[in-house]
């Protein structure tokens, strides 16, 4: 992409309504525009990151054997009356009426609808196990929408639902989700710690929330500091291997880590030596639940089991806050100049800065680098505008591309360009072809 033909409305001023870094930086970098409280347009740069995060979520879900579909945002109230949640949900649910006076709602979540799909088409245990998921906009009329996309009213969520014959099968689905979530967050350059949590309006017995530690997080958390040393890394996983998935769950959840809802000071003190006790704040980026037959029973989602009996299926639901993740990633990756995207989610892989647009040699070298980067399967953002070099650097630092190639007449006389890391600020002088090769090496295995 050439910057002269792109739409990147960066702001010079710091918007006064933004209280935390991620919200401020998303506005300043021209990623989002607020349309009304808690409702945002995704401008081109923000949209690219959002799509990238969706892509990672899709890939990791499908590796775990989970099946994508797409349900609508608007739902019929009748479905929610069947589960009893239409009255139970409260003012967070946006309710409306269509021209035929039918009660409708903008879905805050999809347990009822997915259960309806399941009961309409599945009736034998032979079709199980089955996990269906989608990535779709949700609406919750939050009392206090704030912090930009972190607590929106309209927000993008991946929500997945497992259907299983037995409790054990459902717990395997729970473990599969835990593993796939660990992998998903790590690919985004985040450490998200599974913590024992309470279930809220979705209801359930077993549940973990995934928290990214950050001072600006809305959740209060208590944990054993040893837990921050755990990494899933690039170990192989067979999602059909129950023992292996269970072992990962045990590894990541056996140490004390709880949100304030489930925290017990006495247990904390008994189980964790004082020097390892941490009391901090975190951002909830996901949650997994097992809730058994809470929806399948009232809604008649049953299958015929091997003995010929009709039994309600065991279910769980599993969510990732896709749009909130942008905020969480920026909270964890920024400095006073701007965002620092992890390689896995960056909107463009490299920024090309032409120090002297109009200089024949510089223009030509930039074009060649642009083409070579594209041919290497990477996406460049080429600043081909007439702006001063200082302004170009400031924009690149603000939007946070992890790598920058700087091209100027002086360097070219010596046959070199500069490859700079946004994170460390370190630069290396290299011939243009080698800079592109280095970049390809850096990204190999990270996308």
- Note the residues at the interface with ligand ATP (CB under 6 A): 109, 140, 142, 151-152, 155, 157, 200, 202, 284-287, 319, 321, 323-324
From Mg ion, ligand ATP, none, which one binds at residue 43 (CB under 5 to 8 Å depending on kind)?
A: none
Cα–Cα distances (Å) from 100 to 6, 75, 94, 96, 247, in that order, read: 44, 15, 18, 11, 53
- Looking at the Cβ atoms of 259 and 346, the one nearer to Mg ion is 259
- Looking at the Cβ atoms of 34 and 354, the one nearer to ligand ATP is 34
Measured CA to CA, the distance from residue 18 to residue 24 in angstroms comes to 5
Judge residue 54's burial from the number of C-beta atoms within 10 Å of its C-beta, 0-12 exposed, 13-18 middle, 19 or more buried.
middle
CA dihedral 390, 403, 282, 47 (to 10 degrees): 90
Pairing of strands 206-213, 154-164: unpaired
Nearest approach, Cβ of residue 402 and ligand ATP (Å):
24
Nearest approach, Cβ of residue 366 and ligand ATP (Å):
39
Site string for Mg ion, 238-277 (x = CB under 5 A): ----------------------------------------
User: For residue 114, what are the contacts with CB-CB under 8 A and spacing of at least 6?
Assistant: 71, 132, 161
- Looking at the Cβ atoms of 83 and 354, the one nearer to ligand ATP is 83
- Looking at the Cβ atoms of 155 and 370, the one nearer to ligand ATP is 155
- Looking at the Cβ atoms of 211 and 365, the one nearer to Mg ion is 211
From Mg ion, ligand ATP, none, which one binds at residue 342 (CB under 5 to 8 Å depending on kind)?
A: none
Judge residue 441's burial from the number of C-beta atoms within 10 Å of its C-beta, 0-12 exposed, 13-18 middle, 19 or more buried.
exposed
- Residue pair 216/147 in contact (Cβ under 8 Å)? The answer is yes
Residue closest to Mg ion, measured at CB: 287
- Looking at the Cβ atoms of 185 and 393, the one nearer to ligand ATP is 185
Asked if residue 75 binds Mg ion (CB under 5 A), the reply is no
Stretch binding Mg ion (CB under 5 A), from 22-30, 212-220, 259-267, 282-290: 282-290
From Mg ion, ligand ATP, none, which one binds at residue 140 (CB under 5 to 8 Å depending on kind)?
A: ligand ATP
Nearest approach, Cβ of residue 207 and Mg ion (Å):
8
Q: Which residues 286-315 are close enough to bind Mg ion by CB under 5 A?
A: 287
Measured CA to CA, the distance from residue 191 to residue 212 in angstroms comes to 6
Count of CB atoms situated within 10 Å of the CB of 363: 15
Q: Is 111 left (phi over 0), alpha (psi -120 to 50) or beta?
A: alpha
Give the pair of three-digit tokens for residue 132.
């269906």
Residue closest to ligand ATP, measured at CB: 321
> Omega before 444 cis (within 30°)?
no
| Site residues for Mg ion per CB under 5 A | 287
């Amino acid at each position: 992409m050439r910057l002269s033909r792109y739409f990147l409305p960066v702001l010079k001023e710091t918007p006064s309504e933004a209280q935390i870094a991620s919200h401020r930086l998303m506005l300043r970098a021209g990623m989002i525009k607020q349309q009304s409280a808690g409702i945002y347009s995704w401008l081109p740069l923000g949209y690219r990151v959002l799509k990238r995060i969706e892509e990672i979520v899709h890939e990791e879900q499908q590796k775990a054997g989970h099946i994508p579909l797409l349900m609508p945002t608007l739902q019929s109230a009748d479905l929610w009356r069947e589960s009893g949640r239409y009255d139970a949900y409260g003012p967070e649910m946006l309710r409306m009426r269509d021209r035929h006076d039918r009660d409708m709602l903008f879905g805050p979540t999809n347990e009822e609808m997915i259960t309806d799909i399941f009961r309409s088409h599945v009736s034998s245990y032979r079709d199980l196990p089955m996990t269906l998921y989608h990535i779709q906009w949700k609406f919750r009329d939050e009392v206090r929408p704030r912090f930009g996309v972190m607590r929106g009213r309209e927000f993008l969520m991946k929500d997945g639902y497992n259907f299983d014959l037995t409790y054990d099968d459902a717990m395997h689905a729970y473990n599969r989700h835990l593993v796939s979530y660990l992998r998903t967050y790590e690919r985004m350059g985040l450490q998200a710690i599974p913590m024992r949590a309470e279930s809220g309006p979705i209801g359930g017995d077993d549940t973990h929330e995934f928290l990214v530690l950050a001072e600006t997080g809305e959740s209060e958390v208590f944990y054993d500091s040893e837990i921050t040393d755990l990494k899933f890394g690039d170990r192989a996983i067979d999602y059909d291997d129950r023992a292996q998935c269970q072992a990962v769950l045990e590894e990541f959840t056996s140490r004390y880590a709880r949100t304030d809802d489930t925290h017990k000071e006495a247990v904390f003190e008994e189980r964790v030596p004082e020097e390892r006790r941490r009391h901090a704040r975190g951002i909830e980026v996901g949650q997994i639940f097992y809730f058994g037959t809470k929806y399948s029973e009232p809604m008649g989602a049953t299958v015929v089991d091997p003995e010929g009996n009709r039994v309600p299926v065991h279910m769980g639901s599993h969510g990732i806050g896709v749009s909130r993740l942008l905020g969480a990633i920026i909270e964890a990756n920024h400095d006073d100049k701007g965002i620092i995207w992890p390689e896995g989610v960056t909107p463009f892989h490299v920024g090309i800065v032409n120090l002297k647009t109009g200089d024949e040699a510089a223009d030509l070298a930039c074009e060649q680098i642009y083409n070579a980067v594209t041919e290497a399967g990477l996406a460049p953002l080429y600043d081909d505008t007439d702006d001063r070099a200082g302004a170009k650097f400031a924009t690149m630092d603000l939007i946070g591309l992890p790598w920058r190639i700087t091209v100027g007449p002086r360097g070219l006389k010596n046959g070199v360009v500069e490859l700079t890391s946004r994170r460390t600020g370190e630069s290396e002088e290299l011939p243009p072809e080698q800079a592109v090769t280095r970049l390809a090496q850096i990204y190999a295995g990270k996308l």
